[in-house]
């Protein structure tokens, strides 16, 4: 069960604020107040079971890490830096601003990474992959590790060509293209945080307008091209290709961490098994009678919960996902066929 945009971190924090703040307004609709007590009751009614289960899983992982020393703060810091790079954020300040717009902070995201990494290390420890197994796995699955041809480009998108003509003139007069993109995408947080610079694979995608893909594949690097209409999406674009890279099949030595991550993902005991084993080692008791049945679930069929404390430009960190895979593209394409123009 996924909790969508609900952050367990915020859910748990809200428990501490309940008490005296129970009558504080959360929202007002037609003059009627939705107070914090109603908000809190709704959270517990619809998400209490999942929150309890995830908090138990969280404590199981922390106990295992305390005993086995699986993950250090330095490990989490490295994952954090990899995550920022893979998601396309140019610096931490941009990323923290992105988190703040979701009502989150660095600590919540950091802890999600820690849980991911602890779980991965437990699965890896149970599997104990050998060097021979990893090399054979790489040889059998080279295509899976191949990086498709990529293009990095600045993209300006608008419903008509007029604002793009204005931007083109300003850039041609010497204004910085990244700064212009930052000003241009006031209503598009993702594109604004990336200063209009995106990296996408040059492969057929049923959700990506073919004419835009063709434009990015053919536009001369370093030149402003457009405005050009993208008929499939009913919008116009101005682009500047920074670079294109050919398809690459990396050497095993260069991507060994990714090979190991994929091997563990495919062949290690699933997370549910790991949690059942931990629950057998560490006694779990649920005192709240409303959620007492969670004890039986843990003993028989541990259902995996994801903290879902972060909604990045792509898929969020998940306890079922192995840690960083260098070169993996995490950012979500922001120009989709049929998508409403950002301006």
Question: What is the secondary structure of 244-272 as a DSSP string?
Answer: EE--B---GGGSHHHHHHHHHHHHSPPHH
Q: Report whether 299 contacts 147 (CB < 8 A).
A: no
**Per-residue pLDDT, 301:** 62
CB contact burial 277-297 (16+ within 10 A = b; e otherwise): bbbeeeebebeeeebeebeeb
Question: What is the secondary structure of 270-286 as a DSSP string?
Answer: PHHHHHHHHHHHS----
Least confident of 3-7, 175-179, 223-227: 3-7
Least confident of 53-67, 72-86, 122-136, 319-333: 319-333
Q: Report whether 212 contacts 335 (CB < 8 A).
A: yes
**If you ran DSSP here, which 8-state letter would residue 290 be given?**
G
Band the pLDDT of 302: cuts 50, 70, 90: low
CB atoms within 10 A of CB 230: 21
**Per-residue pLDDT, 224:** 94
**Per-residue pLDDT, 308:** 46
Angle formed at CA 336 by CA 324 and CA 186, multiple of 5 degrees: 85
What does the pLDDT look like over 203-257, one tens digit per residue? 888 878 899 999 999 999 999 998 999 988 789 999 999 999 888 888 999 999 8
CA distance 36 to 39: 5
**Per-residue pLDDT, 304:** 55
Least confident of 118-122, 131-135, 254-258: 254-258
Does the pTM of the predicted model rise above 0.85? no
Q: What is the sign of the dihedral through the CA atoms of 149, 152, 154 and 155?
A: positive
Mean of per-residue pLDDT scores for the chain: 80
SS3 content of the chain, % helix, strand, coil (to 5): 50, 15, 35
**Per-residue pLDDT, 329:** 31
- The answer to whether residue 260 scores a pLDDT higher than 90 is yes
**Per-residue pLDDT, 247:** 85
- The answer to whether residue 126 scores a pLDDT higher than 90 is yes
CA distance 223 to 238: 10
CA distance 90 to 85: 7
Mean pLDDT comparison of 16-30, 81-95, 196-210, 317-331, highest-scoring range: 196-210
CA distance 308 to 109: 9
- The answer to whether residue 159 scores a pLDDT higher than 90 is yes
Least confident of 59-73, 89-103, 155-169, 320-334: 320-334
């Amino acid at each position: 069960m996924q909790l969508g945009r609900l952050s367990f971190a915020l859910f748990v924090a809200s428990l501490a604020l309940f008490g005296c703040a129970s009558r504080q307004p959360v929202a007002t609709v037609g003059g009627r107040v939705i107070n914090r007590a109603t908000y809190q009751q709704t959270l517990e009614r619809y998400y209490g079971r999942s929150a309890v289960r995830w908090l138990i899983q969280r404590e199981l992982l922390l106990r295992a890490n305390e005993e086995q020393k699986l993950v250090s703060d330095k490990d989490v810091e490295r994952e954090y830096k990899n995550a920022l790079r893979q998601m396309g954020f140019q610096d931490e300040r941009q990323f923290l601003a992105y988190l703040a717009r979701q009502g989150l902070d660095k600590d919540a995201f950091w802890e999600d990474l820690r849980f991911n990494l602890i779980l991965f290390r437990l699965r890896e420890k149970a599997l104990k992959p050998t060097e021979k197994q990893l090399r054979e796995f790489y040889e059998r699955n080279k295509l899976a590790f191949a990086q498709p041809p990529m293009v990095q480009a600045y993209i300006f998108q608008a419903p008509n060509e007029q604002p793009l003509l204005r931007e083109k003139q300003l850039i041609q007069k010497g204004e910085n293209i990244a700064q212009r993109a930052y000003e241009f995408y006031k209503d598009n947080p993702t594109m604004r945080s990336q200063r209009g610079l995106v990296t996408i694979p040059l492969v057929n995608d049923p959700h990506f307008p073919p004419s835009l893909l063709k434009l990015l594949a053919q536009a001369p690097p370093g030149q402003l091209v457009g405005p050009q209409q993208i008929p499939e999406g009913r919008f116009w674009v101005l682009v500047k290709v920074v670079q294109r890279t050919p398809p690459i099949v990396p050497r095993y030595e260069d991507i060994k961490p990714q090979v190991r991550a994929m091997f563990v993902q495919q062949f290690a005991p699933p997370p549910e098994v790991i949690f059942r084993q931990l629950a057998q080692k560490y006694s779990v008791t649920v005192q709240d009678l409303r959620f007492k049945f969670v004890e039986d679930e843990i003993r028989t069929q541990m259902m995996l919960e994801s903290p879902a404390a972060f909604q990045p430009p792509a898929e969020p960190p998940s306890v079922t996902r192995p840690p960083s895979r260098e070169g993996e593209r995490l950012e979500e394409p922001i120009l989709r066929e049929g998508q409403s123009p950002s301006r």
